[in-house]
Structure 1
Amino acid sequence: MSLSANTKTTQQCSHTRRLGFITALVIGLTALHLLYGARSIPIGTLAQALFHYNPHDFDHRVLISLRLPRVLAMLLAGSCLAIAGYLLQITLRNRLSDPHLLGLNAGASLAVVLVTAFPIAPLFSMVRPLVASVGAALLFSLVLVIASAGKKGLQPLKLIFCGIAFSALAGAITSTILILDEDTLDQLRFWLIGDGAGANLHTVLISLPFAGAGLVLSLLIMPQLSAMSLGDAMAKGLGASVQKIRFMSLLAAALLTGSAVSAVGPIGFIGLISAALWRGIHSRPSAYSLALVAITGAAILMAADMAAISLFAPKELPTGALTGLVGAPVFLWIFVRRMR
Structure 2
Amino acid sequence: MSISGLQEEKLHLLSELSMEKELHSETIGRLEREREAVAATTASLEAERERVTFLEAELEATQVALLRRQRKGGDAEGGEQVSRLEAEVQRLRAELAAAASPSTNDRTELLSARRQLAASEETVAALQVQLADFIAQAEAAQESRATYDDLGLSESTLGLSQSQSASDLRAKLAAADARADRLQLEMDSVKQAAHNRVAELQEQLRQSDAQLQAARSDAAARSTSADSHAQQQEELNVLRSELSSLRETLRSRDAQLAEARAAVASAEADVRAAQQATAAQAQAAAEHKAAADKARAELSLAAASLNEVDEARERDRVTIAQATARADRAAAEV
TM-score w.r.t. structure 1 length?
Answer: 0.25
Which structure has the larger Rg over C-alpha atoms? Answer: 2
Whose helix fraction is larger, Structure 1's or Structure 2's? 2
